[in-house]
Amino acid sequence: MLKPDYPLKTARLLLRPFEPGDLDDFYAYRSRPDVFRYLYDESVTREECAELLTKLVADSELRSEGQRLALAVHLPEADRVIGSAFLKWRSVKDRQGEIGYSLHPDFQGRGYASEAAGKMLELGFDGLGLHRIVAECDPRNEPSWRLMERLGMRREAHFRELEVFKGEWGDLFVYAMLAEEHRNH
Ligand SMILES: CC(C)(COP(=O)(O)OP(=O)(O)OC[C@H]1O[C@@H](n2cnc3c(N)ncnc32)[C@H](O)[C@@H]1OP(=O)(O)O)[C@@H](O)C(=O)NCCC(=O)NCCS
């Protein structure tokens, strides 16, 4: 069970549950096909964003296996939400988790995603007591795997053509980090 004290703080960001008033900021990146090029989800309309946001607003704790806690990444300097980061509890018994992240393109290239993802690793290892956390991406999504390497995650696998992704054969990189590696990073 993980019930963080919000907002979570990093050097430049606040991470907190989504709020109904985040719709404009959420829509600004959730509607962009470029942000969803390498994600399983697709970009969505404003109405669909509003529906998704309603579900996200209810997320503030991790209570059970399979659940995903998605938090808003808020940049106080711009007074807006610039993206999101998630922690998924993959296995209770084996203490396994997964992280993920997305940022509005206007705010990429400044280290904000690394900062947010680093906090999600901390939540997983220190907050939830996980033993191993993975992150996965399409090998063509270089900003994503560069981020994982920046955080000290190791590439454990390159699966070739394991699935049909958006109409073509897709590869997958799997990165991981152990609690011990996190402590020593
Ligand atoms: C994946 C994604 C979040 C990476 O965003 P990002 O901004 O490149 O990632 P980071 O926060 O790690 O920023 C790193 C970049 O900021 C630069 N940077 C500038 N200031 C920095 C700072 N203070 N600290 C760290 N990096 C800094 C780095 O040099 C690096 O630039 P480079 O890649 O040109 O070398 C972003 O591309 C994205 O949202 N993509 C769409 C969604 C997606 O694909 N998500 C991942 C699914 S697997």
What are the residue boundaries of the structural domains of the chain, listed by start? 8-130
105 lines ligand 1 (CB under 6 A): no
pLDDT in tens, 67-120: 999 999 999 999 999 999 999 999 999 999 999 999 999 999 999 999 999 999
Domain 8-130 adopts which CATH fold?
A: Aminopeptidase (3.40.630)
pLDDT in tens, 41-58: 999 999 999 999 999 998
Q: Which atom of ligand 1 is nearest to the CA of 103?
A: 39
Is pLDDT of 31 > 90?
Answer: yes
Is pLDDT of 59 > 90?
Answer: no
44 lines ligand 1 (CB under 6 A): no
Q: What are phi and psi of 57, to 5 degrees?
A: -60, -30
Q: How are strands ordered across the β-sheet holding 168-178?
A: 8-9, 14-16, 68-75, 80-91, 96-103, 132-137, 168-178, 154-165
Whole-structure pTM value = 0.97
Neighbours of 84 (CB within 10 A): 22
Ligand 1 centre from 35 Cα, in Å? Answer: 12
Look up residue 131 and give its amino acid. H
* E strand residue ranges, 43-106: 68-75, 80-91, 96-103
**The predicted structure's pLDDT at residue 132:** 98
Neighbours of 121 (CB within 10 A): 23
96 lines ligand 1 (CB under 6 A): no
Look up residue 140 and give its amino acid. R
Q: What pLDDT band is residue 154 in, cutting at 50, 70 and 90?
A: very high
The position carrying tokens 């990146």 is 29
101 lines ligand 1 (CB under 6 A): yes
